[in-house]
Structure 1
Amino acid sequence: MAGLIGKKIGMTSVFSVEGKNIPCTVIEAGPCVVTQVKTVEKDGYQALQLAYDDKKEKNTSNPLLGHFAKAGTTPKRKLAEFPVFGEGIALGDTVDCSVIEEGEWVNVVGTSKGKGFQGVVKRHGFAGVGGQTHGQHNRQRHPGSLGASSWPSRVRKGMRMAGRTGGDQVKALNLKVLKVLPENNLILVKGSIPGAKGSYVLIEK
């Protein structure tokens, strides 16, 4: 399975041949540099390590400087591994959005927006306690009863309650590639993808 590292630019829309306005996400896909070729003999599995987005040398550790120098490239911010693309790709080669074609389907992995500590209505979609009569004047967005009594005399693990929301790794499956702009290293995929503008994403074919 091939792939690329990219960056979410934002959302826009394009018109289809039938005249429908289709919402889509713009992703800067590459160019990525092959910084390591992993083999079964040496590493126990096959994969390509790709690197994306330039980084200052002063902000890079010495081991990573040596790692990038071996590939003949400048320091990069984001590293990721993908199963081998195929034959003929060597250390130091550049992979760009030309590996993705218009009309094919991809998966996009990103980190969802962090929303901090949230209540049960926002986090889990609870309806809240409801009415404001019979003493329920200030509990519209509260969780209500937790269901535990003399047995088991505790709150069970996994109970949906308030807590930190977002900031999780999310994979959006089967997104159609509407357009590829190789001169700008951009691809447009149908619909939305996880993450904020400027966040890194992994595009898997």
Structure 2
Amino acid sequence: MNGILGRKIGMTSFYDADGKNVAATVIEAGPCVVTQVKTTDTDGYHAVQLGFGEKREKNTSKPLMGHFSGANTTPKKFVAEFRDFEGDKSLGDELVMDDVLAEGDLVNVIGTSKGKGFQGVVKRHGFGGVGDATHGQHNRQRSPGSIGAASYPAKVIKGMRMAGQTGNSRVKMKNLKVLKIHADENILVVKGAVPGHKGSYVIIEK
């Protein structure tokens, strides 16, 4: 199997096999339902779409209600597809964590990072700022400084690191080790940080 969907619960500390206290993230992973099976003949590529998390019917559009009813399941809050899905899965089948993951596996976790709003260059790009607050500097400590060139090219170069919207973007954390699995509670503990706020949905790729 290629992966599973889940929901970030939060962070904790965990003692690994060497007795070291490491930062870890707790994820509720699955169970997921196969809501669509794509084939090369009908869609041009092979993939399996999974659904996770319950959604109220009154907040679900009629086209989506038809989509989920075709898989004989309730509406799902979060859906994602996995290309070149390994194994035989049919429409409406349930996928649990034990089908995909085992302790010691390395996984990639994809999520949406926390939105920081409009931020300056010090927070957004790690600029040092002007630094020296003396010698006539006034409210310039966190300034970007000069952004242009001379009479040639007489413009701001594309890609210049400046202030702007930060966060709220798709982030993939690679090669996170699976420290612990509680299959009866659908709980997964991975080493390190995972993008997103508490309760946000994530994609776990093996």
- Common fold by TM > 0.5: yes
In structure 2, the partner of 1:125 is 126
Q: Aligned residue for 2:203? A: 202
Matching residue of 1:8: 8
Q: Matches of 2:86 and 2:16 in 1, distance apart?
A: 33
User: Is the contact between residue 148 and residue 157 of structure 2 (CA under 8 Å) also seen in structure 1?
Assistant: no
SS at match of 2:143: coil
Q: Aligned residue for 1:28?
A: 28
SS of the residue 1:48 aligns to: strand
2:150 corresponds to which residue? 149
Q: For residue 115 of structure 2, what is the aligned residue in structure 1?
A: 114
1:56 alignment counterpart: 56
Q: Distance in 2 between matches of 1:179 and 1:43?
A: 37
Partner Cα distance (1:18, 1:87) in 2: 35
Deviation at 1:129, TM superposition (A): 1.1
Q: Against the structure 1 CA distance between its residues 91 and 84, is the aligned structure 2 distance closer, same or farther, given a 3 Å change threshold?
A: farther
Contact 2:16 2:179 in 1 (8 A): no
Aligned partner letter, 1:23: A
In structure 1, what is the Cα distance between the partners aligned to 2:149 and 2:180? Answer: 54
TM-score, length basis structure 1: 0.97
TM superposition shift of 1:86: 2.7
Separation in 2 of the partners of 1:16 and 1:159?
43
Q: Are 2:101 and 1:100 equivalent residues in the alignment?
A: yes
Q: Name the aligned partner's letter for residue 96 of structure 2.
A: D
Q: Percent identity?
A: 63
Deviation (angstroms), 1:23: 1.2
Partner of 2:184 in structure 1? 183
Matched position secondary structure for 1:63? helix
Specify the code of the residue in structure 2 equivalent to 1:79: V
Counterpart in the other structure of 1:138: 139
Residue 158 of structure 1 is matched in structure 2 by: 159
The residue type equivalent to 2:158 in the other structure is K
Structure 1 counterpart of 2:73? 73
Distance in 1 between residues matched to 2:105 and 2:133, nearest whole Å: 52
**Partner-residue secondary structure (3-state), 2:114:** coil
2:148/2:155 contact within 8 Å kept: no
CA RMSD after TM alignment:
1.1
Q: Which runs of 5+ in 1 are unaligned?
A: none
The 1-side partners of 2:203 and 2:76 are apart by 15
Shift of 1:85: 3.4
1:113 alignment partner, SS class: coil
Within 1, Cα distance between the matches of 2:134 and 2:88?
Answer: 72
4+ aligned runs moved over 6 Å, structure 1? none
What do residues 57-92 of structure 1 show as CA deviations (whole Å, max 9, x unaligned)?
111011111110110000001110002433331110
Name the structure 1 match of 2:47. Answer: 47
* Gap runs ≥5 in structure 2: none
Q: CA deviation at 1:20?
A: 1.3
For the residues of structure 2 that align with 1:3 and 1:16, how far apart are their CA atoms?
A: 24
CA distance in 1, matches of 2:4, 2:20: 29
